[in-house]
Structure 1
Amino acid sequence: MNDQVKGQKRQEVKMLNRKLLELSGVLNVESFDSEEFLLETELGFLTIKGQNLHIKHLNLEQGLVAIEGFVHSLAYLDGTSTSKSKGLFGKLFK
């Protein structure tokens, strides 16, 4: 895309009726279950919470993820604070 500045990180989030979420700029899927996903993106860690969540499409080479289910929330974790990430990891792996 021509409007992207060289070296600038970019992420697109597209949601349809809270039932389909498409994301670009995804580096890794850290963890997931039917109620919560933790994704590492170019802009930091992103949590997605909802019900009956599952991966519809995954292509990490292109950085694309599509998630189906009922989405309650999307939240970025502060990339400069490791304590928040560790707290979330601790909750996920109890």
Structure 2
Amino acid sequence: MEEINNNPIRFETNPYHNIVLKDRKILEITGVKQIDSFDSNEFLMETAQGWLVVEGKELTLGKLDTERGDVSIRGLVENMSYISNKKSGARESVFSKLFK
């Protein structure tokens, strides 16, 4: 059964935002302000540089450091994109999935 989390996880963060992707299997992100929602196919989080959507397969939360704003995601990363408005971006994501 797929886990869905709809309660945002907020934490303090540093003002710097970096992304390191290792072999498309481990994604390390700094400067995360909150994780809004996640499941095995998509993570939606607010970073110091805007809202970030990570899409893939079998995604899991590997590491979470709420004091520093560091997040590690494991699984097959297929897409990462920044959205200007999380509500419209999430809506576009749902529609784009339906019409693929």
Shorter-chain TM-score bucket reads 0.7 to 0.9
Alpha-carbon distance between aligned partners in 2 of 1:89 and 1:25, rounded to the nearest angstrom: 25
Aligned length: 78
**1:89 Cα deviation (Å)?**
6.3
Alpha-carbon distance between aligned partners in 1 of 2:91 and 2:31, rounded to the nearest angstrom: 21
Alpha-carbon distance between aligned partners in 2 of 1:54 and 1:76, rounded to the nearest angstrom: 20
TM-score scaled by length of structure 1: 0.77
Alpha-carbon distance between aligned partners in 2 of 1:34 and 1:66, rounded to the nearest angstrom: 14
**1:10 Cα deviation (Å)?**
2.0
1:52 matched to 2:55: no
1:36 matched to 2:10: no
TM-score scaled by length of structure 2: 0.73
Instruction: Give runs of aligned pairs for residues 1-80 of structure 1, distance below 5 A.
Output: 9-78=15-84
Higher Cα Rg, which structure: 1
Runs of 4+ that moved beyond 4 A: none
User: Which sections of structure 1, spanning at least 5 residues, go unmatched?
Assistant: 1-8
Alpha-carbon distance between aligned partners in 2 of 1:10 and 1:23, rounded to the nearest angstrom: 10
**Matched residues, percent identical?**
36
Alpha-carbon distance between aligned partners in 2 of 1:89 and 1:65, rounded to the nearest angstrom: 24
**TM-aligned CA distance change 1:89 to 1:41, over 3 Å:** farther
User: Which sections of structure 2, spanning at least 5 residues, go unmatched?
Assistant: 1-14, 95-100
The equivalent residue for 1:6 is: none
Tell me the C-alpha RMSD between the 2 structures. Answer: 1.5
2:40 is paired with a residue of what secondary structure? coil
